[in-house]
Amino acid sequence: MHVARIAPVFSRSFASALFLTALVGCSSDPAPDASTPVDAATDTTPQDATPDTAPVDVPPPQMSQIFGPCRADTECAVGLSCRTETATGYPGGECNTVCTSDEDCVLIPEDGSPPIDGWCPPAVGTAPRYCQRVCANGIDCERAGYTCRTYNAGTLTETKACIPVCTDESCVNGTVCDHDSGRCRAMGTTPTGRTLGQSCQPEMRTGAPTPPADQICRSGLCQADWSPDSRGNRFYTGWNGGYCISRCILPQGYNSSTFWGEAGMTVPLPQGTCPTGGICLPGNSYARGDLGTCYKGCTTNDDCRPMEGYQCQRQIQLTQTTTRRFANGFCVPVNCLNTATPCPSGLTCRRNANGSGSCIPEMTASP
């Protein structure tokens, strides 16, 4: 199978500015393929990106091929079944099939254009394996509410495949978009769990029990406060208390030289497809339609759980000589080696291998 790849474009300075290289600790998913935003201790009310509105029921083309839209099995080509929007949360539904190999997942376009590779992901427990469309970038997925995610980055099995990340316009069959999870949901239902920037516990973590439901992120993506090291000891990440993130689709306007806006503090960072109050930041690409990561937005440190070691970052260093400042910011752990951002009471500063500093619990410092 041929898998197209794109080279990461973030500079080392920018990655360091986000503290992502050393701090990411998401249990169920790497933060994208990117790495990395109220207050969890006091606010447990789920937040919806938009109120429920009546969506337009848009019929798909008849007899969709694999990865095409559908509302029922009868709208899929022979041998395929419809993973409906209501059942799966996939925007517009998706014609698909249970697979055992990548060959089961190849799309043969009806217009005679070259075949499009598919991927049969590894089995997870006893769950059936469904095909995913191989992609080079978000636009390559060719459907609203879908973008391109990298699996097994940097390994011999690295694969880029399309995943759903819903938009308000892409949920068309009687559902609305839940911007935390990136899935379409039935109108009138209330999602449960933690939302963007709130504290959390990973759903699965070695050395820790299964957390209660009210401590699990609606997105399924929790930057963990600690992860086990090679000896089974807790290695603290600096994401104290955990931190819910979510996926987003990058809006138009990012580019490698200006990072959305010109210098100054009048241009806001964009929300993109993030939940209300979120900021959509790029990972390995600045291109419109590609996968990004949502963080909690902010204007002051008080918006960011400061007593747990978080701050509002409103400045981004793209290169050693290029810095951009914005009208708003996003909540991330402080770099405690900066004298302007010391650790709060109960936390101590640990120097990381990349030269940044992480605030971690006192008396539990690990190498």
User: Which neighbouring-strand residues pair with 248?
Assistant: 292
| DSSP per residue, 85-136 | HHHH--TT-EEE-B-SSGGGG-B--TTSPPPB-EE-PPP-TTPPPB-EEB-S
| DSSP per residue, 10-71 | --HHHHHHHTHHHH--BSSS-TTSS-----TTT------SS--------PPPSSB-TT---S
User: Which neighbouring-strand residues pair with 234?
Assistant: 228
Question: Does residue 74 contact residue 94 with C-beta atoms inside 8 Å?
Answer: no
Residues 176 and 243 both lie in one domain: no
pLDDT at 44 over 70: no
Total of domains in the chain:
2
- Least confidently predicted of 22-36, 90-104, 343-357: 22-36
In a domain, 7, yes or no: no
Task: Give the per-residue pLDDT at 12.
Answer: 41
Residues 168 and 90 both lie in one domain: yes
* Cβ count within 10 A of residue 92: 25
User: Which neighbouring-strand residues pair with 315?
Assistant: 325
Task: Give the per-residue pLDDT at 364.
Answer: 53
Residue-number span of the structural domain to which 227 is assigned: 12-47+197-334
Which of 156, 152, 161, 175 has its CA nearest to residue 129?
A: 161
Task: Give the per-residue pLDDT at 54.
Answer: 55
Query: Quick one: what percent of the chain has pLDDT higher than 70?
Result: 82
pLDDT bucket at 22, cuts 50 / 70 / 90: very low
pLDDT tens for 54-66 read 556 666 556 899 9
Residues 172 and 288 both lie in one domain: no
Q: 243 vs 16, which has greater pLDDT?
A: 243
In a domain, 267, yes or no: yes
Distance CA 107, CA 79 (A): 13
Q: What is the DSSP letter of 140?
A: G
Two structure tokens written together for 196: 């963007």
Residues 175 and 204 both lie in one domain: no
